[in-house]
Structure 1
Amino acid sequence: MRLLFCKFSFPCALKLRLFKMSFDTRLFNVIVLSCGFMLTFTAFQTMGNIEKTILDSIKEDDKTFTADGYTSLAIIYAVFATCNWLAPSFISVTGPRTAMLTGSCCYVAFIASFLLAQTELLYVVSALVGLGAALIWTGQGMYLTQNSDPDTMSRNAGLFWAIFQCSMFMGNIFVYFMFSGSTIVASTRNMVFWVLTSLALIGTVVLATLRKAPKMMEIGEAEGVSSADKELHIPEPAKDKPLMAAWHALRDSFRLFITWKMMLLSITFFYAGLVLTFYSGVYSASIGFTQAMGSESKKLVGLSGIFIGVGEVVAGALFGILASKTVRFGRDPIVIVGFIVHMFAFCTIFLNLPDDSPFQTTAESGFISASPTLAMIGSLALGFGDACFNTQVYALLGVLYAKDSAPAFALFKFTQSVAAAISFSYSSHIGLYIQLGILVCFLVLGTLTFCIVEFALRRQKKEQRSESDPALVDVSGPDP
C-alpha cells in the first residue's frame, strides 16, 4: 500500500512543483495591478479629457454653476504635489496596497460628484482626489518595484503602461458614441457619469485583491547600484513605531530630493507633467472648440482621446516586449525617440489649431485649413511620445532607487504634479502657441537631463564591474 501511495503521490508532487515554477507570481501581481489601474483611470482620464467641454455644457443649462474645468484640474495637481511629500510616510505605516486602495476610493468620490453638479463640491472633491492620487501613484511605484528585478523592471514598466493606457481609448470610445452634434444634453451627461463611476468602483475592487509581493533580491543589490550611495535606505515599516517610520520616510524624501541625479531628473519629471496637462486637458478641448473641424467637432474630443490611448498602448507594449533587447542599448535611445515624436506632434498642432482654441468655441483657423485627420495624427504622436518618456522613467527609477522606491516615485509624481498644476493654471490665460513654446523648451531640457543620468548610471556600473572583475567589462559598446 505504501509503495502504491508513493507511486501516485510522487508524480503529483512533481507536477505541483512544476506548476509553481511555471507560475510567475510577480508577473501576475503586475497584471492585476495594471488592470485595476486601467479600470479606475478609464473613468478618471476620460473625465479629465472631457471635463472642460462637459462643464461648459452644464453652465448652459444651469447659470448658477460656475465651476471651471481647468481650475478643477489645477486644484487636483496642486494638492497632488503637496501630498506627495506625505505619501511615503503613509505607506511606511500601511504598505502600498492599502495606499492604492485608499487612493482609488478618492477617485470614485470625484467622478460621482459630477452627478450633483455643484461648484463648491466639485472643488472640494478635486482636492480629495489630489490626496488620493499621491497615495495611489506612490503605492503603485513601490509595488511595481517590489514585483520586479533587474531583468524584468523594463518589461514590467512597459506592460503596466500598455495595459494602464488602454483606459485612454476604452473610455473615449464610449464618449465618442455618446456625444453627437454640437451640444451635450443632460441625459447624455448623466449616463456618462454613471458609467464612469461604475468603472471606477470595479477598478477599486480589483485593486483590493492585490496580494503581497513575494520576497526577492533587491534590484539595487543585483545591479550593484544603491540610491544616493546607500545613504537613503528607508527602514521597513515598523508596526510597533509607526510614527517613527513615517518620520524617517519624510526625512528620506527630502534628502533624496537634493541629490544631483534627482535634481536633474526633476526637469524630465517637470516636462512629463506639462505634456500630461496638455494631452489630457488642453489639446482635446482645443479640437472640440475649433468650429473649423466640422459640425461634429465635439465627437472629435473623444476620438482624440482614443488616438492618444492607442499611441500610449502601442509604445508601452512595444517597449515592454522588446525590453530585454532594448535595455542593452540603454534607456536614452527610447527617450530620444519620444523627443522626435513629440517635436513632430507640436509642429502639427501649431499649424492645425488656432491660438485661442483652448479657451472657448472659436471660428478662427490655424496656419492651414483645420484637418481632423492631422489632429488625430497629433493625438497619436502625443500618446506614443508620452509612453516613451514614462516607461523609461519608471524603469530608471526602479533600478536606480530600488531601496528607496516610495520616496523616489513620490518625488517623480510631486514634480510632475507641480508642473501640471502650473500648466492648468495658465491654460485659461495663455494662448496655444505660447503653451507649445513652453513645451518645446522643457522637451529639450528634459531629454538632455535624462540622458545625462542614464549615461552616469551606465558608467558607474562599468566601473563597479571592472573593479570586481575586469574581464567582465566590454569596452566595445554600451553596457547591457
Structure 2
Amino acid sequence: MNILCGIDLGTTKVIYMSVCFLFLYTATQTFLNMEKTIITSISDDNEYFEVDGYNILALVYITYGVSLWLGPSAINIIGLRTSMTAAAFLYILFISSVIVEKAWAIYVIAGLEGIAGCLLWTAEGKYLASNSSPEVMSRNVGIFWTFYCSSSIIGNLYSFYILEGKKYLDRGSRNLIIYTLTIIAGVATLLFTLLPPAEKNETEDKKLQKVSPLKELKTTWEVFKTKEMMILAVTFCYTGLHQAFCSGIYSPSIGFTLQFGNRSKQLVPLSGVFLGLGQVIGSCWQIIQGKRLSKLRWGRRIVLTTGIVAQLISFALIYINIPPSAVFGNTTESAIIKSNIFIAIFCSVLLGIGDGCLNTQNFSIIAILFPNEAAQSCALYNFSKSVSVAVGFFLATFFNLYHQLTFLAIMAIFALISYFYADMCTLKKYNDQNNKSTP
C-alpha cells in the first residue's frame, strides 16, 4: 500500500514514530548534553547542593540496564504505544527535576528515568521491526536515526543562543532552558498518544501469541546465550562507552576549559549541535548509499570501519586540544597545544559521524540475526550499551581525559574486530539458508 510518494504504510508509521522521538530527544539530548554543566552551576549557587552530574547519569543507565531484562515482558503486557507514552511522561519529570534543587528528588527521578528508557527503547525496537521488511530494514533504521540525531541540533541551537557570551551559567538562563525543554517533551508525549498500531497488528498478536512474563524472560536469556550475541557484546559495550563520552563528557569538558574565554559555556550546546550534525551526516550517507552498500558483501563492515576511524581521529585531536582535568570542572590548565575552538567543534562532528555509523549498524545486524526476537535482541543490545554508559560516567569521576581517551581507543579496535567476526557469521548463516532453500 503506497501512502506518500511510493512510501509503504510501514515506513510511514516509522516516520511518524521518528517525529515523536525528534521532539522527545530535542528536549532530552539537550538536557543530557548540558546536565553536568547545569548541576555544576547549581552547586556554585547553592553550597548545600551536593550532587554529581556524572553520578546521576550513571544511575539512569544502571536502572535502565537492569530494567531491560523485564522490558519485553512489560511491553507485551501494556502494549507499544502505552509504553512509549508512559516513558515520555517520565522524561518530562526527569528534565524538570533539577528545578527543585533537592538531591533526593533528582536521584529518585533519575532511577525512574532509567525505567522509562527501558520501556521506550524496547518498544521502539519492536515497533521498528514490526513495520519493516528485511529489504527495507537498513533504510528504515537510517530514517529513524536521522530524525533521532537531528534532535541534538535543534535543542542545542536554542541553548547556544541563550548562553551567548556566558563564562558561567546563571540561574535565570538555567531555568529558562529547563522550562523550554520540559514543554517540548510535553509535546512529544502528546504525539506518542496518537501513535498508530504496528503494521503487524498488535491486538491480533496478543490474542494469538499471549506469552507470560516468565516465558519472555526465558526467551531473552536464550537470545543472550547465542554465540552471535556474545560476540557482539564487545561492540555493544564500546558503543555505550562512546555514547557516555560524546553525550555527557566531551561537551561539558569543552565548557570547563576556561582557555576558551567568555564563550566557554556557549560552546557546550554548540558542541551538541555539531555532534548531532555529525550523526545526521553518518545516517544520511547510509540512506543515500543504502542500495549500493547492501549489494556489497562487506557493506556493513565498510560503514562501521568508517565510523571507528572517525572516532579514533577525534580521540587523537581531543587528546592534544583539551586539558586532562577538564572532565572534572572549570580549569585554567593548558592542553598540549593552545586550545582551539575549531578543532574542538570538528571533533564533535567526527564523534557524531562515528556514533551514527556505529548505532545504525548495530541495529541492522541484530534485526537480521534475530528477526523473530526483535524485542529481546533490542533489549539485550540496550542492556549491554547502558551498563557500559554507566561505567563510562562512573569512570569519568576518577580518570582524567587522557586516560579515558586511551581506554576508548583500545576498546574501539576490539569493537571493530568483534563486529567483523559477527558479520562473517551472519553472512555464513544467510548463505547456508539460501543453499538449503535452493533445489
Scaled by the length of structure 2, what TM-score is found?
0.95
Cross-structure match for 2:229: 262
* Distance in 2 (alpha carbons) for counterparts of 1:456 and 1:98: 36
Q: Is 2:37 aligned against 1:53?
A: yes
CA contact under 8 A between 2:3 and 2:9: conserved in structure 1?
no
2:256 to 289, 294, 301: 289
User: What's the counterpart of residue 459 of structure 1?
Assistant: 428
Aligned to 1:212, what secondary structure does the other structure show? coil
Which AA in structure 2 matches 1:422? V
Q: Does 1:33 align with 2:17?
A: yes
**Deviant stretches of 4+, over 4 Å:** 17-23, 235-244
Does the 8 A contact of 2:54 with 2:396 survive in 1?
yes
What's the offset of the Cα at 1:467?
3.3
Cα distance 1:268–1:20, how it changes in 2: closer, same or farther (>3 A)? closer
Say which of 172, 177, 180 aligns to 2:161: 177
Alignment map for 1:33-432 (pairs within 5 Å) = 33-180=17-164, 181-215=166-200, 245-329=212-296, 330-432=299-401
After TM superposition, give the deviation of residue 422 of structure 1 in Å: 0.9
Give per-residue Cα distances to partners, 1:37-91, cap 9 Å, x unaligned.
1111111111111111111111121122111111110100010010000101101
Cα displacement (A) at 1:466: 2.7
Deviation at 1:294, TM superposition (A): 2.2
Segments of 5+ residues of structure 2 without an aligned counterpart are: none
Report how far residue 469 of structure 1 moved: 2.7
CA distance in 1, matches of 2:100, 2:231: 43
- C-alpha offsets along residues 287-331 of structure 1, whole Å, 9 cap, x if unaligned? 111111222111110110011000001111121232122112231
Q: Distance in 2 between matches of 1:455 and 1:23?
A: 32
Contact 1:286 1:357 in 2 (8 A): yes
2:265 alignment partner, SS class: helix
Q: Give 1:214 deviation, angstroms.
A: 2.1
CA distance in 2: counterparts of 1:365 and 1:18, whole angstroms: 58
Question: 1:288·1:299 contact (CA, 8 Å) conserved in 2?
Answer: yes
C-alpha contact 1:269 1:416 (8 A) present in aligned 2? yes
Cα distance in 1 for partners of 2:410, 2:225 equals 23
Cα 1:237–1:290, aligned 2, differ >3 Å: closer, same or farther?
Answer: farther
Given that 1:92 and 1:237 are in contact with CA atoms closer than 8 Å, whether structure 2 keeps it comes out as no
Q: 1:293 to 1:147 in 2, by over 3 A?
A: same
Structure 1 gaps, min length 5: 1-16, 217-234, 471-480
CA–CA distance in 2 between the matches of 1:238 and 1:210?
17
Number of the residue aligned with 1:11: none
Change (3 A) 1:239 1:34: closer
Higher radius of gyration, 1 or 2: 1
Give the 3-state SS of the residue equivalent to 2:291 in structure 1.
helix
The 1-side partners of 2:81 and 2:276 are apart by: 26
1:378-427 deviations in Å (ceiling 9; x for gaps):
00000000100101111111121110000100000100010011111110
- Whether contact under 8 Å (1:38, 1:167) holds in the other structure is yes
Going from structure 1 to structure 2, the CA distance change for 1:27 and 1:238 (only over 3 Å counts) comes to: closer
Q: 1:108 is aligned with what amino acid?
A: I
Query: How far, CA to CA, are the matches of 2:121 and 2:234 in structure 1?
Result: 19
RMSD (CA atoms): 2.0
Whether the 8 Å CA contact 1:39–1:203 is kept in 2: the answer is yes
Distance, in Å, in 2 between the alignment partners of 1:393 and 1:363 is 39
Q: Which amino acid aligns with 1:354?
A: P
In structure 2, give the amino acid aligned to 1:166. S
Instruction: Output one character per residue of 1:345-366: Cα deviation in whole Å (capped at 9) or x when no partner.
Output: 1000011111111001111111
Aligned partners of 1:167, 1:157: CA distance in 2, in Å? Answer: 16
Q: Percent identity?
A: 33
SS at match of 1:362: coil
The question of whether the paired residues in 1 share the 8 Å contact of 2:279 and 2:353 is answered with yes
Deviation at 1:95, TM superposition (A): 2.5
Deviates more, 1:293-302 or 1:71-80: 293-302
